[in-house]
Amino acid sequence: MDNNWEAVIGLEVHCQLLTKSKIFSGAATAYGAAPNTQADGVTLGLPGVLPVLNAEALRLAVRFGLAVGANVAERSVFARKHYFYPDLPKGYQISQYELPIVAHGHLDIELPPPVKGDEPVVKRIGITRAHMEEDAGKSLHEAFAGATGIDLNRAGTPLLEIVSEPDIRSAAEAVAYLKKLHQLVVYIGICDGNMQEGSFRCDANVSVRRRGTEKFGTRTETKNVNSFRYVEKAIEYEIERQIEVIEGGGRIIQETRLFDPGTGTTRAMRTKEDANDYRYFPDPDLLPVVVGAAERQAIAAQMPELPEAKRARFMADYGLARYDATVLTGEFALADYYEAVVAGSQADPKLCANWVSGDLLGALNKLGRDITESPVSAAMMAGLIRRMADKTISGKIAKDVFEAMFEGQGDADHIIQARGLVQITDDSAIVAAIEQVMAANPKQLGEYRSGKDKLFGFFVGQTMKATQGKANPEALNRLLKVMLAN
């Protein structure tokens, strides 16, 4: 970005709350069902039906509020937001307007330090509000020639709209915020975080101003950018576009824009002038939502350990470096997995960390799977590390055993037994193998003895080979040194 300019960015995230049924009815929310099979009377907006708030959706919203240090409103109000569209069955969306359930929270994001190797820079992004609302249905324009299909399965799905303060100053910060928010909502179990299925969607409000000025520029809102990469691209494009327009003597129009992933550009969708007058008013079918202190405490009591607290604990209790602790607490399931491995193996936590974040995550990444889909359970991983710790196998053999476990050949003990991989710690067996190798390589032996020390490694390799890698490396080194010298 041109150094004379500064971007001001605020993000609105629609996060689908992880409930079995819809926000105001008992219809299912499962993704991918045949069109309109999850549309009950309330979803269809039939004459006479009434909304009843899903208590679980409320609990999840409150949990979010508590997780971002926000005020959870003792009394919040649902309002109707009116506009006509075929996939909006009632002609209004039930949302929250003047009194949202969550207000004044924050999220701390970590940015790369100016000097490499330093601690990351922490920046606090304000969360203005988060409110509950129902999703609309889907219009299917392509499927029918000359007509539009309406699928109301998604209509009435509970959403939490999370609105940030305009505290974000770059596309990179926006992505850091989104990733942090995404991690959090998945962590606390209020959202499945699936961006392809639309469970976590983002609208970006972007404006630019000359550096040093206070006043915000006119902003545009770019809708529904559904991956971290697209958010970054869309914002970068929008910043550049706005600077160009202003520097070219033009002015920015307050409008809604749409990101085109194909070209990496945004284009105008509608301007503020032709925007709807939503005619918000409190929904008379729903009473104000009251969350008392006792209920708030009960929800707080069920709050899982949050990512930052967990990371601090991993660093303190397991002696992990910040980087490893960050990786291992990145996902709730991964952190649980790691802790199960440490507990199960009773081994050095750092060794466990290397295996989980190195070998296991590496293997999973290759397959594009996450920890919950790992073919190697935490108990199996602990079993492997235990055999390394008690010197049944060497670290090198362990890599082979891990691969075999990952391929589904059973647990470590089974593979070690079946393949006869138990480490040879008996000196006499190793001595015999060394003698055999020395006899077979008289030339190298002579050279070594006349001072070519480098050949030590050659003898280690040959003896390992002769023992199929099972020789205990320490014993082998010790014995080899003595025998080669004589």
Tell me which stretch binds another protein (CB under 8 A): 167-175, 211-219, 272-280, 469-477: 272-280
Interface with another protein (CB under 8 A), residue from 11, 44, 335, 398: 44
The CB-of-141 to another protein minimum distance in angstroms stands at 12
Q: Which two three-digit tokens encode residue 445?
A: 């032996």
Which amino acid is residue 342, in one-letter code? V
> Judged by CB under 8 A, which stretch of 38-46, 311-319, 429-437, 444-452 contacts another protein?
38-46
Q: How far is the CB of 314 from another protein (least distance, A)?
A: 45
Taking the complex as a whole, how short is the minimal distance between the CB of residue 113 and another protein, in angstroms?
47
Q: Find the binder of another protein among 2, 108, 285, 390 (CB under 8 A).
A: 285
Nearer to another protein, 47 or 451 (CB): 47
Instruction: Give the amino acid at 169.
Output: R
User: Minimum distance between the CB of residue 96 and another protein, rounded to whole angstroms?
Assistant: 15
Q: Edge to edge, what strands does the sheet with 92-96 contain?
A: 92-96, 78-82, 281-282
- With CB under 8 A as the contact rule, the residue among 140, 172, 195, 286 that binds another protein is 286
CB of 22 to another protein, least distance (A): 14
Amino acid making up residue 187: Y
Q: Which of residues 54-93 bind another protein (CB under 8 A)?
A: 80, 82, 84, 86, 89-92
Q: State in angstroms the smallest separation of the CB of 136 from another protein.
A: 13
Closest CA relative to residue 10, chosen from 220, 180, 197, 244: 220
**Separation between Cα atoms, residue 306 and residue 312, nearest integer Å:** 10
d(CA 413, CA 404): 11
Q: Which is nearer to another protein, 279 or 369 (CB)?
A: 279
Tokens 């629609």 label which residue? 14
Chain centroid offset of residue 320 CA: 21
Short-list 101, 93, 51, CA closest to 76: 101
Size, binding site for another protein by CB under 8 A: 28
Number of C-beta neighbours around residue 264 at 10 A: 13
Rank residues 46 and 482 by Cβ distance to another protein and give the closer one. 46
Stated length of the chain: 486
Binds another protein (CB under 8 A): choice among 1, 28, 53, 312: 53
Work out the number of other CB atoms within 10 angstroms of the CB of residue 222: 24
What are the E-state strand segments in 186-304? 200-210, 220-225, 255-260, 265-271, 281-282, 289-290
Nearer to another protein among residue 146 and residue 442 (C-beta): 146
Structure tokens of 431? Answer: 């001595």
**Helix (H) and strand (E) counts for the chain?**
17, 16
Amino acid at 326: T
Q: Which CB atom, from 139 or from 444, has the smaller least distance to another protein?
A: 139
What residues contact 341, with CB distance under 8 A and at least 6 apart? 352, 355, 356, 378, 381, 382, 385
Which of the ranges 40-48, 170-178, 203-211, 354-362 carries the binding residues for another protein, by CB under 8 A?
A: 40-48
> Which residue of 3, 32, 48, 368 would you call a contact of another protein, by CB under 8 A?
48
Residue 292 CB, shortest distance to another protein, in Å, is: 17
- Which of 42, 328 has the CB closer to another protein? 42
Interacting residues with another protein between 354 and 393 (CB under 8 A): none
Our CB check for another protein shows the closer of 25 and 29 to be: 25
Contact call for residues 434 and 483 (beta carbons, < 8 A): yes
Is 419 a residue that touches another protein (CB under 8 A)? no
Binding mask 146-185 for another protein (x = CB under 8 A): ----x-----------------------------------
Scanning 9-17, 44-52, 156-164, 194-202 for contacts with another protein by CB under 8 A, the matching segment is 44-52
284 binds another protein (CB under 8 A): yes
Task: For residue 405, report the phi and psi dihedrals to the nearest 5 degrees.
Answer: -60, -45
- Smallest separation (angstroms) from another protein to the CB of 66: 25
Residue 293 CB, shortest distance to another protein, in Å, is 22
- Which DSSP string do the residues of 321-373 spell out, in sequence order? -HHHHHHHTSSHHHHHHHHHHHHHH-S-HHHHHIIIIIIIHHHHHHHT--GGG
Interaction of residue 140 with another protein, rule CB under 8 A? no
Neighbours of 243 (CB within 10 A): 19
**Local structure of residue 90 (DSSP, 8 states):** T
Comparison of 41 and 69: residue with beta carbon closer to another protein: 41
Q: Which residue type does 332 have? A: F
Which of 119, 214, 274, 277 touches another protein (CB under 8 A)? 277
Evaluate whether 368 touches 361 at the Cβ level (below 8 Å).
no
98 makes contact with another protein (CB under 8 A): no
**143: contact with another protein by CB under 8 A:** no
Chain residues in the site for another protein (CB under 8 A) = 41, 44-53, 80, 82, 84, 86, 89-92, 150, 277, 279-281, 284-287
